[in-house]
Structure 1
């Protein structure tokens, strides 16, 4: 985690390497273990959020119709918050029909111009048929214009934590400023699966019929016997062929994203290879139990000078069967933490690394209440901060170079 010492408080890092004795593989071993022809790719275990494989995962690229996953998330959020219902009706405008309908040359649900369609049907047109007409109608129905809807997409993306992606339309049509990363698309998919489990099921529906036209889901993984149940494909000239996929085997879910492939067959083949390898080559290893104290954070101005930190979930990573290298972990927070602090507040994060690759990052929470200290305690902490602040500045300087 990089910190700007001129604009933020200083980062304190506590190393936990001595507490972890699991043997795993380095980035170099990982690269030798699997090769893909995909220009950009990532494979993540959903439960532990362990990164099993990545290749150019932070490289900006055009998302094509994979952008519709973000469009769907906005709708899911509106439904969850009660601002829309599945029975809400949106009109297919001339713009939606002309730019996304049957005559547009792209994927379409074949909605008729000036007709009103229930949101539930438009959603299926969006996620099953990848209908551009459905995407535009949804954008116009929620925000008035697609430009306004794109701003809402970006607001939601920031809230979810998609730090590098920018959206400019609901369809995924080519736009020089619409760029995403495979890491962000994987993060978005994990969020959708975790936050909207019932709505997510739409991504796994094999077909949808509208206007008497029956269309198959465009996700090729759904027809393979690998436990696939989502998410989305994409293809424009600028991006090549891409795919976000999710599959479950023996209770384990993996998320794969590939992009930049030359053909639809290539993207299906490489995505399946990654999933097969991930399910076969790894096993889970627990590092810390749910509620176990992982470490402590320094506190300023409180009735105590340290705060025990815990995770609300077990801290687990997937490790390669039969490989050997120690993993390391560290606690990172902006500190010292300022009292008062309420038990359960998110105050830090734990980062788990394999070699120079970050495999996992999870939030850590205060395990007890810290009240504001009395005048004497606060004065003493002020003197200590004045006298030792240069140490934290030096530490921050080192952190910026990590």
Structure 2
């Protein structure tokens, strides 16, 4: 699988398989793609009952001048200064209109300022594993540029899908009329890639065009993120290549059935020296068609396990390793129990550990 995108990441969330990665951790400035993170932060505040969907938020002069009609800076929901707008309408303005004023009003309504809200965004990003992301504002304005990576954007998409499935349909809402103003969804990816139902796109004068897409087709969902493209046309073309590659180049392969022995784990001080390590569920991984020789398997566990060992004890992970590192992780548990051994067997184990150590 190849793409002209300088940065690309393709992920299959149900199995946790990384299908493709190209410069996945190289940072870029996302522009208005930041608004996906803005939305996720608002979703979290709603879920935590910090705000209500029918709560009214006041349009400050700052929000009006910086993100509204007077700003002349692109997308707006034309919110009037000092007016009050419900959170649910602001969210629709944010995700359908791509409205900058909606982003600022939401930030001020929740945290009092864009700066405080940006700190909250960054904290959320880091808490969900977006370790290479720092958010500077809720709009994506370049005066204080945010930084992220395509891997982190895929993590964000999965977080929204997992934690906020009730809000996810907002990303594909086709249109929204507010205050008598009708606007169609401004996400340039919607309707251009078959079965795409989110999430967003952005651009930056220095780092180019970026996109974050989620597509569900034939019972399989994939998440794709790209960045560094030279135009909106090239972004769409590259994103199509990456997304379609999930169906063209990959197929599901069962590596192990639930309960099947993957490896033996050493046991210290037990009436047996080993215990099977098994997956709790079937290990189904999307792998390149005909390219299984390009992958390696590795079992990682903290050993030796100390007796007594109960059946079903979490004991490590199975890693599937491709050209770009680990592409899949499956948790392993013990597939049997080991009772504590006799005093003599424990003494022998202790002597072996002292003289030779343990290899895990």
Confirm or deny a common fold (TM above 0.5).
yes
Match of 1:60 among 9, 16, 27: 27
For the Cα contact (< 8 Å) 2:269–2:306, is it kept in 1? yes
Partner of 2:107: 139
Aligned to 1:45: 12
Structure-2 separation of matches of 1:261 and 1:195:
30
Contact 1:342–1:368 (CA<8 Å) still a contact in 2? yes
Indicate which of 193, 201, 209 corresponds to 2:161.
Answer: 193
Verify the 8 A CA contact 1:218 1:233 in the aligned structure 2: no
Partner SS state of residue 219, structure 1? coil
Distance 1:142 1:280, change over 3 A: same
Distance in 2 (CA, whole Å) between partners of 1:139 and 1:372 is 58
* Alpha-carbon distance in structure 2 between the residues aligned to 1:252 and 1:82: 33
- The separation in 1 between residues aligned to 2:84 and 2:227, in whole angstroms, is 35
SS of 2:166 mapped into structure 1: helix
Q: Distance in 1 between matches of 2:80 and 2:270?
A: 65
Q: What is the CA deviation profile of residues 57-90 of structure 1, one whole-angstrom value per residue up to 9, with x for unaligned ones?
A: 1101112122222222222222233333322222
Match of 1:359 among 320, 327, 336: 327
In the alignment, the residues of structure 1 paired with residue 143 and residue 44 of structure 2 have an alpha-carbon distance, to the nearest angstrom, of 25
Please give the root-mean-square deviation of Cα atoms over the aligned residues, in Å. Answer: 3.3
| 1:326 Cα offset (Å) | 5.2
Gaps of 5+ in 2: none
Corresponding residue number in structure 2 for 1:349: 317
Instruction: For 1:60 and 1:231, locate their aligned partners in 2 and report how far apart those are by CA, in whole Å.
Output: 19
After superposition, what is the alpha-carbon deviation per residue over 1:11-47, rounded to whole angstroms, capped at 9, x for unaligned? xxxxxxxxxxxxxxxxxxxxxx42x222211122232
1:160 maps to 128
**CA offsets, 1:107-142, max 9 Å, x none?**
222222222221111111122222221122222222
> Cα offset for 1:180?
0.8
Match of 1:99 among 66, 70, 84: 66
Return the alpha-carbon distance in structure 2 between the equivalents of residues 86 and 304 of structure 1.
Answer: 59
**Conserved 8 A contact 1:208-1:215:** yes
Q: Give the TM-score normalised by the residue count of structure 2.
A: 0.85
Contact 2:193/2:240 (CA < 8 Å) preserved in 1?
Answer: no
Which of 1 and 2 has higher RCO (CA within 8 Å, sep 6+)? 1
How do 1:278-317 and structure 2 match up within 5 A?
Answer: 278-290=246-258, 292=260, 294-295=262-263, 297=265, 309-311=277-279, 313-317=281-285
Please, what TM-score do these two structures have when normalized by structure 1? 0.77
Per mean C-alpha deviation after superposition, the further-off stretch among 360-369 and 94-103 is 360-369
Kindly provide the CA deviation profile for residues 167-186 of structure 1, in whole angstroms up to 9, marking residues without a partner as x: 22222222666311101101
Aligned residues: 359
Computing the radius of gyration over CA atoms, which structure comes out larger, 1 or 2? 2
Name structure 1 gaps, 5 residues minimum.
1-32, 396-402
